Amino acid sequence: MITAHDKMTLVKRASSSLANATSAQRTQALLNVSKLLLERTDEIIAANKIDLDRGVTAEMTKSTQDRIRLDAARISAIADSVVKVTTLPDVIGDVIRGMTLPNGLQISQVRVPLGVIGVIYEARPNVTIDIAVLAIKSGNSVVLRGGRDAQSSNEVLVRLLQDALALAGLSADSVHTLDEFGREGAQEMMTAVGLIDVLIPRGGPGLIKSVVEESTVPVIQTGDGVVHIFVDETARLDWSVEILHNAKVQRPSVCNAVETLLIHEKAVDRILPAILQNLSEANVVIHGDAKTQELFEAAVAATEEDWHKEYHDLDLAVRVVANLDEALAHIAKYSTKHTESIITERIENAERFLAEVDASTVMVNASTRFTDGGEFGFGAEVGISTQKLHARGPMGILELTSTKWLVRGAGQTRA
């Protein structure tokens, strides 16, 4: 019987051939993925229904069900995003910098794949395609562990990916899943030094904390999204209402949805009632501080826990602040360094917010929902890194590469 170690060994062996594949081969593999997604839509939806039915039996939350759900429209959108990735520049082999030393040595730094990428994620079958496609485009092989909640969907999708690779003349072993091994499979990935070059956790804080603390494989850390929007005293009413609605309501289950609204006390009377009425009509539960509760009777009292919370649902914490300083202090204390946004008409406030907020993505007058690899033009994303080493923010092709130095000489020796 094949083990998790056996599968990781197969991926490691396949990694050198994929890294050395031509750009045309990798592009053809991705076009095959897009084509097969459309051809096998019914098969994917049938497998996805098994996961959803299991989730209902297990009393899975609606937000988790939404993250798992694949329908024809979502599958078509995924197929389109795969095609977009094929149009991105092939960065492997790009010369980043070069020089000729006084002794005649020619030195160049070039971009290369990371090798084997391991990704541990939860309840998001679309991520299976996103990760694998970006990995293939950047010449990396990948080991996936997508969790039991979406196991049936992932099984079909990984088989599709393997078929797409084989049709392009590449090794089907470049992509494997360890879902069937459960937590033990994830544990083996964390200690697979020599088989996995970098590990990326993508999920809730518990998963990320476990991988960061227990892994002996290098980790690129992604984080949960306690995302703030600050409405200052000069903010436009229409922008404030529209941005808050989009950032909270469009898809509340994702990490770039806003979780806390901070509003300048001088903007409360002019702007806050319209925001709260709009959100209330969309069934958003308001967790407000004392001033918010005075203004909006339907608000429930916000607790200390609310300022730390990533709801993944139609809930929003609201706090009135005295000024920009207080807003920045709140964000510094509670931010998970994912995405923060300010709505303002005052350029000095905008520039100060951009400069002082410590997060992977900082915005002015825009919905936090734009923090996304697809929206940034990456075609897809592996995740959103909240660390500061190598990769930060949405991770696309460039973030899945490293570099190496090439030195060309003509008999030089060091004195």
- Tally Cβ neighbours within 10 Å of residue 129: 24
Among the ranges given (65-69, 307-311, 403-407), the one the predictor scored with the smallest mean pLDDT:
65-69
pLDDT of residue 28: 98
Mean pLDDT over each residue of the chain, to the nearest integer: 95
Is residue 382 very low, low, confident or very high in pLDDT (cuts 50, 70, 90)? confident
Q: Where are the beta strands (DSSP E) in 20-63?
A: none
User: DSSP class of residue 193?
Assistant: B
Taking 3-state DSSP, the helix, strand and coil percentages for the chain, each rounded to the nearest 5, stand at 50, 20, 30
- Condensed to tens digits (0 to 9), the pLDDT of residues 140-160 reads 999 999 989 999 999 999 999
Q: What is the pLDDT of residue 67?
A: 86
Question: In terms of pTM, does the model score above 0.75?
Answer: yes
Compute and round to an integer the Cα radius of gyration of the chain. Answer: 23
Please report which helix (H) or strand (E) contains residue 98, including its range: strand 95-100
**35 forms bridges with which residues in the sheet?**
none
- Which phi and psi angles does 339 have, rounded to 5°? -145, 135
Instruction: State the average pLDDT over residues 373-400.
Output: 88
User: Residue 383: what pLDDT?
Assistant: 86
Under the banding of pLDDT at 50, 70 and 90, the label for residue 12 is very high
What share of the chain in percent tops pLDDT 70?
Answer: 100
Q: Please give the Cα distance from 52 to 268 (Å, whole number).
A: 42
| pLDDT value of position 209 | 87
Q: In what order do the strands lie in the sheet with 300-301?
A: 300-301, 285-288, 315-321, 258-264, 227-231, 339-343, 361-364
Name the helix (H) or strand (E) containing 347. Answer: helix 347-356
Residue 204 reports pLDDT greater than 80: no
Interval 61-78 mean pLDDT: 91
Q: Which amino acid is at 182?
A: G
Cα 173 to Cα 4: distance, rounded to the nearest angstrom: 13
Tokens read off for 294: 């005075």
Is the Cβ–Cβ distance between 47 and 153 less than 8 Å?
A: yes
Mean pLDDT calculated for residue range 296-309: 96
* Placement of tokens 């958003």 in the chain: 284
pLDDT at 369 over 90: yes
State the pLDDT confidence band at 390, using cuts at 50, 70 and 90.
confident
Cα torsion angle, 353, 208, 123, 119, sign: positive
Asked whether the predicted pLDDT for residue 374 surpasses 90, the reply is no
pLDDT in tens, 75-115: 999 999 999 999 999 999 999 999 999 999 999 999 999 99
What pLDDT does 64 receive?
85
pLDDT in tens, 228-253: 999 999 999 999 999 999 999 999 98
Q: How far apart are CA 288 and CA 316, in angstroms?
A: 8
The DSSP symbol for 58 reads T
Q: Is the pLDDT of residue 380 over 90?
A: no
pLDDT reported for residue 18: 92
Structure tokens at 211: 């991988």
Q: What is the set of domains in the chain, with CATH numbers?
A: 4-220+395-408 (3.40.605.10), 227-370 (3.40.309.10)
Structure confidence at residue 59 (pLDDT):
87
